[in-house]
Chain A
Amino acid sequence: MKKRETDGSVLKEPNVKYQTSQTTLSEYLRKKRSFIYRTLGDRLFSYFIFALGFIVILTTIVMAIVLYKDGAEAIKRYGFFGFLFGRVWDPAMKIEFGAFPFIVGTLITSIGSLAISFVPALAVAIFTAEYSPRWLAHIIDNLTNLIAAIPSVIIGLWGIFVFAPWMRDTFYMNIYMWILDNNPSFAPIFGNPIGYGIATATIILAIMIVPYTTVLTVDAFKKVPKEQREAAYALGATKWEVVKMAVIPYARGGILAGVMLSFGRAIGETMAVAMLIGNKNNLPFSIIGPASTMPSVIVNEFREAVENIHLSSLIAVGFYLFIISLVVNLIAAYIQRKFSLTGARTV
């Protein structure tokens, strides 16, 4: 099969060109086949591939359109910024909707979890890339990837039955009692010690987003040239000083990209947060008390939404979520491009 084709297209082709006066049927067909095979084939194949690939671009665009269209009822009714800053979410009595509590909840939990997870994530990256022997680095690398791979429902399950009760009994109760004894006016700010709330959800989120920072940071560390490190060693630096002076500054683009990626994950993380945050739909939130985030309210109420405006409001919340995570992802992509990091790792 292959041999015939190469014979046909490569060896005989020049002959066909020179025989201009008399073309037999078989030569005509061969010429034509060659045209179909090469020019048209290439053209069609590339169109086919572009059509398939274009679906990726199309999906994102369609997502934006669909979310806007289905959320339009709520956005029209309350106005774009009116809905964004509306502080009341009441599907039962007043039938009034505003996304502000969820935006606040999302920002608090995701920024909080970033703040908690940043130093440990960086430490894991430094440990695997600089300090540990290769076999240990390999194991730790696999384990951190495993954290990213564990389905968030399973972490939520563990959170509901193990982590939240444990936090309540060991920390929240004691601190709450101490506050009541010493400074009762602070109690409402601290919140009720039921165990399910912002603090618990934030800590769980922090555990879940560590791998995203770590993986990109390790990649960036690996790209630091040897000379950079050796120069620092030659100046008499200790290992930590090498990391601090030569490695981290060089890899800051990768670290930043990892942080943005983690931030995007934290914003969109749904199940574990929905199971642990306690689902309180109205401001004000307290430190350990219940709250809600944008994904968690969608998951919790979408199945039970009866009124059209309720459904539409939930999708509008999804639209705002889309915009926020689009911006975060584009910033991350920009950083990665600027510091010429290829994010080809999929895990």
Chain B
Amino acid sequence: MKTLKRRYLHEKIMITFIAFNTVAVLTPLIIILVYVFVQGIGAINLDFFTQELGSPSRAMTGRPTGLVHTIIGTLVVDALAILIALPFGIGAGVMLSEYPDHKLNPVMRVMNDTLNGMPAVLKGLLAWALVVKPMGGFSGLSGGVALAVVMLPIIARSTESALMNIPWSIREAGLAIGLPRWRVIASVVIPASKAGLVTGVLIAFARAVGEAAPLLFTSFGNNYKSSYLLGWTFGPVDTLPQRLYSLAISPYPEWHQLGWAAGIVLLFFVIVSFAIARIVVREKY
């Protein structure tokens, strides 16, 4: 039998241990954020947002370089991904939440989680096989397809939980005044859960915008702005995470600096969309 004193001592040790571990988990996060900011802030200037990257010699000789094509490319590819993923994701979410008695529903839930857990490289390989190979070249569109597969299960899941937050009594009220089921879903449930849907899209965007692996062999990367308008979708396009990877493994110190700056921009996208998502959720619920 342990004495009370020893039990209190044990309690104190455990508290210290737990607190220490918590700090240990959060320290790297702080260090990473601070490092990215400190290293990258020097390269953030007007040129960064207005110039192209160009060849390595352009940075070596001190001519202005920037990542404007990368930022535009990221937005284009992610917008394509949202456009592709949104209808299917919302459809899947509606099915999960509004037709719980459907035979396929449990299968779909498991499949959705499985798809969410699949490594992003495989989603890239899928897009490569389905879009790049038949079309015969790397394109922004294929990058959009790859990211859409990344977003799809996230949007489906958050749509589901957003719709689940609407009480059943509201649906029953709709049915009671004689609306058919589809009208209840389309004009009562979905408008009421609009904030939740926006949150889902934002979270999906935040997750997908940082994915480099699937983009390496779909949108491929490009040191210059696309010379024609459709080139943003049908030609190779630069995106932030993939450019960050290329800059990091390049041998040029100037490019490393640009890499840190690209990290700041990328983190800005991620953190802002997460923050908005959180705020929207908190206001609503």
Contacts and interface: CB of A to CB of B under 8 A. Distances in A.
A42 B11 CA distance: 60
B174 to A, nearest CB: 11
Contact of B88 (A53, A119, A144, A330): A53
Contacts of A67: 122, 125-126, 129
A264 interface: yes
The interface size bin for chain B is: 35 or more
B222 to A, nearest CB: 14
B113 A45 contact: no
A172 to B, nearest CB: 18
Interface SS majority for chain B: helix
A332 to B, nearest CB: 7
Interface string B98-124: 110010100110111111011111110
A53 B95 contact: yes
B29 interface: yes
A346 B119 contact: no
A127 B20 CA distance: 10
B94 interface: yes
A127 B245 contact: no
Interface string A50-63: 11111111011011
Contact of A149 (B126, B206, B248): B206
A46 B99 contact: yes
Contacts of B20: 123
A329 B117 CA distance: 7
A153 interface: yes
Contacts of A46: 99, 181-182
A235 interface: no
Contact of A56 (B29, B130, B156): B156
A322 B118 contact: yes
Nearest to A44: B182
Contacts of B207: 149
Interface in B115-169: 115, 117-123, 125-126, 129-130, 149, 152-154, 156-158, 160-161, 164
B25 A121 contact: yes
B259 A157 contact: yes
Contacts of B244: 151, 153-154, 157
A49 B20 CA distance: 49
Contacts of A254: none
B248 to A, nearest CB: 5
A124 B21 contact: yes
* A-side interface mostly: helix
A271 B115 CA distance: 19
B197 interface: no
Interface string A252-270: 0000000001001101111
B245 A42 contact: no
A247 interface: no
Nearest to A117: B25
B141 to A, nearest CB: 17
B118 A63 contact: yes
A198 interface: no
A240 B14 contact: yes
Interface stretch (A74-82, A217-225, A297-305): A297-305
Contacts of A42: 180-182
A200 interface: no
A28 B121 CA distance: 58
Interface string A310-347: 00000100100110011011101100000000011111
A240 B11 CA distance: 6
Contact of A45 (B112, B181, B206): B181
Contact of A299 (B25, B121, B263): B121
Interface residues of A, number: 95
Contacts of A303: 216-217, 220
Interface stretch (B53-61, B75-83, B270-278): B270-278
A295 B125 CA distance: 11
Given A123-B21, A158-B35, A328 B117 contact: yes
Nearest to A305: B217
Given A318-B122, A344-B157, A51 B91 contact: yes
B121 A238 contact: no
Nearest to A45: B182
Given A299-B213, A344-B164, A275 B117 contact: no
28 contacts: A49-B95, A51-B91, A52-B87, A54-B108, A60-B114, A66-B125, A66-B126, A120-B22, A123-B25, A131-B19, A143-B26, A147-B29, A149-B207, A150-B267, A151-B209, A151-B210, A152-B210, A153-B244, A154-B210, A238-B11, A268-B118, A270-B121, A271-B213, A275-B249, A302-B216, A329-B113, A330-B110, A346-B154
Given A158-B32, A303-B216, 17 more contacts: A6-B177, A41-B182, A46-B181, A50-B102, A53-B96, A66-B126, A140-B26, A151-B266, A153-B244, A153-B245, A153-B248, A156-B248, A270-B212, A298-B125, A325-B122, A344-B157, A344-B164
Interface of A: 6, 9-10, 37-38, 41-42, 44-46, 48-57, 59-60, 62-63, 66-67, 69-70, 119-121, 123-124, 126-128, 131, 140, 142-147, 149-158, 160-162, 207, 210, 214, 238-241, 261, 264-265, 267-271, 274-275, 295, 298-299, 302-303, 315, 318, 321-322, 325-326, 328-330, 332-333, 343-347
